[in-house]
Amino acid sequence: MCDTCGCNITHGNESLIKPGGKLSRTESGKEAVTVLHSLLHENDHTAQHNRQHFDQHQVLAINLMSSPGAGKTALLEATIQQLDKNLRIAVIEGDLETENDAERIRKHGVTAIQISTGSACHLDAHMVHQALHNLDLSDFDIVFIENVGNLVCPASFDLGQHLNVTLLSVPEGDDKPAKYPVMFRCSDLVIISKSDLLPILDDFSLSRAKNYLQDIASTAPIIALSSKDKSGLTLWLEWICHQIVERCEFLEKNPVAQQSHHEHSHSHDEDRA
């Protein structure tokens, strides 16, 4: 995980450990342990801050995760085309380099903010916080966060999202939940993507995939769909609409206190205070 590969430190949070940063010194000098734990603590703090911003504007935030090439961007394109046009969508795209996926989204007339992570194999809450400076959340109902393609590290970082959706594509094989249990266990929905290939790639078994998910104690619903031929897409769209209603009902019963500077005009020093 990130504690061993070192990607806990990203361009979003590196200011915390630089000279003068909040975590530039440790009490015991055990930087390898203390700094990493502190970074995760700061990430969770910023994630909660992000979530409050989403809730203040009644915006549903969905984090899309998968291995590279599983079809996250294609799913977003199909969703934009088919979802109720009264629902206003924004997308935050995460990749190591390029704006390729963001450009694909923009071609559909949807606002897309690109985060280039450099060497980091996941998004973190600080990166998403910075991206939110470029979004007026009052203009949107849903923000999709397309995480970096990776079935390991993204599962460990709260971004401030309300829901996690993980794609398992048919070409990958049906045993990915057994190999990457943390990712699938934290999912609120599992999508079997590229389902149009099921008749061709007969070594992928939907029943085996479901059994692997049950074996890791996943209770997430499963939707098999194809962004290409649109089969199963209606179930996905209905799930989104249901989640929007549920979130609105929750916020009616649990209203969020409005802050005086909730429009992301504050400085990053506020987060380090």
- Which structure tokens are listed for 156? 């460990």
pLDDT (0 to 100) of residue 35:
52
The identity of residue 30, as a single letter, is K
Q: Which two tokens stand for residue 39?
A: 């970074």
Question: Under a CB-based contact definition with an 8 Å cutoff, are residues 187 and 66 in contact?
Answer: no
pLDDT score recorded for residue 272: 37
pLDDT of 269: 43
**233 contacts 225 by C-beta, under 8 angstroms:** yes
Least Cα distance to 208 among 180, 170, 164 occurs for 170
What's the pLDDT score for residue 2? 53
Whole-number pLDDT of residue 270 = 41
d(CA 160, CA 50): 5
SS3 state at 259? coil
Give the whole-angstrom CA distance, residue 127 versus residue 106: 20
What is the rounded CA–CA span in Å between residue 217 and residue 239? 21
Complete domains list, the chain, with CATH: 26-255 (3.40.50.300)
Chain-centre distance of CA 114, in angstroms? 13
Instruction: Please list the rounded mean pLDDT of every run of 10 residues in the chain (273 residues).
Output: 52 57 52 60 94 97 98 98 96 94 97 90 94 96 96 94 98 97 97 98 96 97 98 98 97 83 45 37
Alpha carbon of residue 129 to chain centroid: 13
* The pLDDT value given to residue 13: 54
